[in-house]
Structure 1
Amino acid sequence: MPWILVLPALVGVAFLVLPFAGLLIRAPWSTMGARVTEPDVLAALWLSLSTATTATLVSLAFGVPLAWLLARAEFPGRRLVRAVVTVPLVIPPVVGGVALLLVLGRNGLLGQYLDAWFGITIPFTPVAVVLAQVFVAMPFLVISVEGALRGADRRYEEAAATLGASRVTVFTRVTLPQVLPGIGAGAVLCWARALGEFGATITFAGNFPGTTQTMPLAVYMAMQRDPEAAIVLSLVLLLVSLAVLVTLRERWVNA
């Protein structure tokens, strides 16, 4: 065992674990039950879970085809498209929120027409929460699925095509089963990132209890007026995230 790597590895683990241990130690366990069942907490938790799940489904619908395009298709500007897809990973989320607002706001590039022609206003609604989450989370799915597609053995696809299978059949019966673990892993990462989204959400969707206030926003607000409530909300979010991630990882990644 390379002991020279063990010490920094242990320091890294401690750095990641100690903050969570601090939450557990400082948590107000005597009032935990009453705080968790407060209507505002339950509303924020439900909104976070429902919007993160919806954002993941939307990301799957558009991200898997996009990943296939980047992995298998040759077209001019593919590198530029890949760069644009990964930009949300590196820019501050609040910048993404501002960008969404400038495009889909009531005076935005597209939002002004949605409002004038159809009476549709997206910002500061639950739909805005989902769109903000999709914007910051879908790149995780695309990168994971693209990597799985590049690593898949294309000989099986070629054999199926030789036997007369159509492109749709090859994709659904041969390609998709091969990359399903990658799709599952990407979906887990996408869901987790959407669940924890803060910057783009507060900028594009606002922070309205019962409407757009997700759990991260509720934690932020609680930290300013009641730190113990913030600890409780953080623990709830942590436990939900861990439970779902562990369950989905066992079911999809190890499939």
Structure 2
Amino acid sequence: MQEAWTALGLSLKVALWATAIDIVLGVALGWLLARVRFPGRELLDALLTLPMVMPPTVLGYYLLVVIGRNGPLGRWLHDAFGINLIFTWEAAVLAAAVVALPLVLKAARSAFETVDPQLEQAARVLGISSFAVFLRVTLPLAWRGVLAGALLAFARSMGEFGATLMVAGSIPGKTQTLSIAVYEAVQAGQDDTANLLVLVTSVTCVVVLLLAGRLAPPRKVLP
């Protein structure tokens, strides 16, 4: 039973860190795609959306290639700082962040596209800098959509399995998240533990989805 609560605590930590990373990247990239016109914009959007449709094990393999000991990022981190990401909870955060990023990105882009550009232009006419316009005008008008996307990313991070298992493994108390703990419990025939973990995961995800639904921007009714 103790291992179940340990897995829950680790999953919450991983999901919170992954969601925080996705909020920063998703908001920045969402604003870029919504407000800046440049060649290859839709191609970039498609590439950033790939984690939504690509098998998690494939994403995990790509991450291994990048952050593994022989990968470009992994080798640099090891040689420069002595950091080894593979089979750590930080690797689980990275995997969850990559998988859940499109949820924040899509929600943020959609929310920013609903903000009237004339309101932003009016603020600039008053002498407000572009960054201040974003913080004081754009983001406050789009916050509901961004937060809804962040909640969906949190729920997705809580349930991440394939990519996390590839890069973080299943080390009890260190990298064994809820979804991996469910798999291990089923494999070991520990039905009581599996049932508890499934119940906790399901309740958490349902609550998050209900909150995301309430925060989502209202849909426009066509005449």
TM-score by length of 1: 0.81
State the distance in 2 between where 1:59 and 1:101 align: 20
The residue type equivalent to 1:210 in the other structure is G
User: Which of 191, 195, 205 is the equivalent residue of 1:227?
Assistant: 191
CA displacement 1:141-189 (0-9 Å, x = unmatched): 0001001111211121111112222112211111011110110111011
| 2:2 alignment partner in structure 1 | 39
CA displacement 1:174-231 (0-9 Å, x = unmatched): 1011110110111011101111000000001101010000000000111112233212
User: Which of 191, 200, 204 is the equivalent residue of 1:240?
Assistant: 204
Q: How does 1:40-79 map to 2 (within 5 A)?
A: 40-79=3-42
Whether 1:131 aligns to 2:68 is: no
| 1:200 alignment partner in structure 2 | 163
Q: How does 1:82-93 map to 2 (within 5 A)?
A: 82-93=45-56
State the distance in 1 between where 2:212 and 2:4 align: 24
Q: Which of structures 1 and 2 has the bigger CA Rg?
A: 1
The alignment-based identity, stated in percent, is 45
The residue type equivalent to 2:55 in the other structure is P
| 2:65 alignment partner in structure 1 | 102
Whether 1:154 aligns to 2:117 is: yes
What is the aligned length?
217
Asked if structure 2 preserves the Cα contact closer than 8 Å seen for 1:188 and 1:249, the reply is: no
Q: Check 1:87–1:244 CA distance in 2 against 1; reply closer, same or farther (3 A cut).
A: closer
- Structure 1 runs of 4+ with >2 Å offset: 240-250, 252-255
The gaps in structure 2 that reach 5 residues or longer are 219-223
The residue type equivalent to 1:46 in the other structure is G
1:125 offset after TM fit, Å?
A: 0.1
| 2:221 alignment partner in structure 1 | none
The residue type equivalent to 1:140 in the other structure is L
1:254 offset after TM fit, Å?
A: 7.0
Which SS does the other structure have where 1:110 is aligned? helix
Asked if structure 1 preserves the Cα contact closer than 8 Å seen for 2:49 and 2:102, the reply is: yes
State the distance in 1 between where 2:184 and 2:173 align: 14
State the distance in 1 between where 2:102 and 2:162 align: 16
1:247 offset after TM fit, Å?
A: 4.5
